[in-house]
Structure 1
């Protein structure tokens, strides 16, 4: 699955802004599971929120990421994934819990490009919002958990520079040896 490229890291580090910029250049993308699940669960006052049932929230994120992987596997060209299945391994590490066997199996089965881009904590751009309840300290801990989870599953981390989003996008495309797509060739997937 060399065309599925993960961008991970802690919240508020510019991951989604980067992926949105790459999508504006015409590249396909996936949507972050956690944010989408929070929006959906709030809409129906559902139980699958981290602050209501952390285990259910984790299972919903795992299912979302597996579905996103399957769908994106059929797409052509690079697909920029706003997190991936191994993020769930990091989620359990962040919580200080053992990683369930089925989560580890999923992280080993659903593969991505060997290079995973990790956005380092960036306090200067960190902001909270309706879906982001974490503190800058938790963002740092999340980054460390992802930096542990991905290499443990055979991936090479490439740290994103703390530069404006257009420069970050150029960096990613240069590392991958991929050119921006033509304007108007938008290939965003949700």
Structure 2
């Protein structure tokens, strides 16, 4: 089966997780964001913000996890699989932080192609910081710009998801992927 791999991308606090949860509620196969679990695991080892203290290690762990998710999605028996973020997100965050990274990060982007990328723009009304999301809204806008660049550098056509209720945003995504 040729499973369509659909990425829900966007900066912090844009509603990605809410949409993924709505898709799960509707019976779709979804792969959830893994950066929070990496952050929480690092905290158990005494590192408050792994991305800030060891960005390359954090990004390598993310890359490993997202490649694993990609391969699992690719071998799925479902028509559609949704992923909360894709591999290019890692490059975008490294570019945002100004850290250098090995070529295998950009090679991973090229070697793992998604079928559609939906982008959620920064939305002040729903943005909330918490213990794992340390960025301000202004930083979220900057990250968003790096995300757009990272996906466009990998030749993706991006679909912007309009601001609306979680249900309406999810409907928009599902109606759009029907045409793939």
Partner of 1:102: 104
TM-score by length of 2: 0.92
Instruction: Return the alpha-carbon distance in structure 2 between the equivalents of residues 116 and 128 of structure 1.
Output: 25
Give the aligned partner of residue 45 of structure 2.
Answer: 44
Whether the 8 Å CA contact 2:7–2:82 is kept in 1: the answer is yes
Unaligned runs of 5+ in 2: none
Alignment correspondent of 2:154: 153
Q: Structure 1: 5+ residue runs without aligned partners?
A: 179-190
Q: Of 80, 83, 86, which aligns to 1:84?
A: 86
Alignment of 1:38-187 (within 5 A): 38-45=39-46, 49-75=50-76, 76-98=78-100, 100-113=102-115, 115-177=116-178
**CA deviation string 1:6-58 (max 9, x = no partner):** 01111000011011101110001112121121122223335881122111111
Task: Report the TM-score when normalising by structure 1.
Answer: 0.87
User: 1:100 Cα deviation (Å)?
Assistant: 2.8
Give the secondary-structure state (helix, strand or coil) at the position aligned to 1:5.
strand
CA RMSD of aligned residues (A): 1.7
Cα distance in 1 for residues equivalent to 2:138 and 2:65: 26
Q: How far did residue 142 of structure 1 move? A: 0.9
Structure 1 Cα separation of the partners of residues 68 and 59 of structure 2 = 14
Matched, 1:33 2:61: no
Shift of 1:91: 1.4
User: 1:5 corresponds to which residue?
Assistant: 6
Aligned-pair distance for 1:2?
5.6
Residue 33 of structure 2 corresponds to residue 24 of structure 1? no
- The structure richer in helix per residue is 2
1:137–1:37 distance in 2 versus 1, CA, 3 Å: same
